[in-house]
């Protein structure tokens, strides 16, 4: 998704895992900091740990969790500067075996739009 926001503004929202329910409600209903495991996410009746790896210099935020079969995976967000200002946000998410790729793409588009909207509100509040 392209945005007129500077990459730093988009990253400031991505870098705050507690804000996940605001822009990624399909992933998290509630997020709490857990000193032992990073972040504790609640979605519906499920609770799981998420490790958030951030590199503001590279413009990356990775949300990693233990998945089926003991594998680790998750969503990978990349924020790139646009040549004439603004940013481009790219997110890669895993697909469950029975998932409809078109439906997942629609959810990711909604999440990215919400992320950019939150960044826009943060910019106006500054």
Residue-level pLDDT, tens digit, the chain, 126 residues: 999 999 999 999 999 999 999 999 999 999 999 888 789 999 999 999 999 999 999 999 999 987 777 788 889 999 999 999 999 999 999 888 899 999 999 999 999 999 999 999 866 555
**What is the per-residue pLDDT for 96?**
82
For 74-78, the CB contacts below 8 A with 24+ separation are 74/50, 75/27, 77/14
Angle at 88 between CA 111 and CA 9, to 5 degrees: 75
In the CATH scheme, what architecture does the domain 2-125 have? 2-Layer Sandwich (3.30)
| Domain boundaries of the chain, sorted by first residue | 2-125
CA distance 67 to 65: 6
Sign of the torsion angle spanned by Cα atoms 48, 113, 83, 120? negative
**What is the per-residue pLDDT for 20?**
95
Tokens describing residue 61: 């935020």
Q: Which residues pair with 43 in a beta bridge?
A: 46
**What is the per-residue pLDDT for 123?**
61
Q: Are 81 and 87 in contact (CB under 8 A)?
A: yes
**What is the per-residue pLDDT for 126?**
54
**What is the per-residue pLDDT for 17?**
94
SS3 assignment, position 115: helix
pTM score of the predicted model: 0.86
């Amino acid at each position: 998704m392209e945005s007129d926001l500077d990459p730093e503004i988009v990253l400031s929202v991505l870098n705050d895992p507690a804000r996940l329910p605001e822009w990624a409600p399909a992933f998290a209903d509630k997020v709490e900091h857990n000193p032992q495991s990073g972040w504790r996410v609640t979605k519906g009746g499920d609770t799981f740990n998420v490790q958030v790896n951030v590199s503001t210099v590279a413009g990356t935020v990775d949300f990693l969790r233990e998945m089926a079969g003991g594998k680790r995976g998750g969503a990978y967000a990349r924020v790139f500067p646009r040549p004439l200002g603004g940013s481009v946000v790219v997110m890669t998410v895993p697909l469950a075996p029975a998932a409809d790729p078109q439906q997942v793409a629609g959810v990711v588009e909604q999440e990215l739009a919400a992320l950019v909207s939150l960044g826009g509100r943060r910019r106006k509040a500054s």
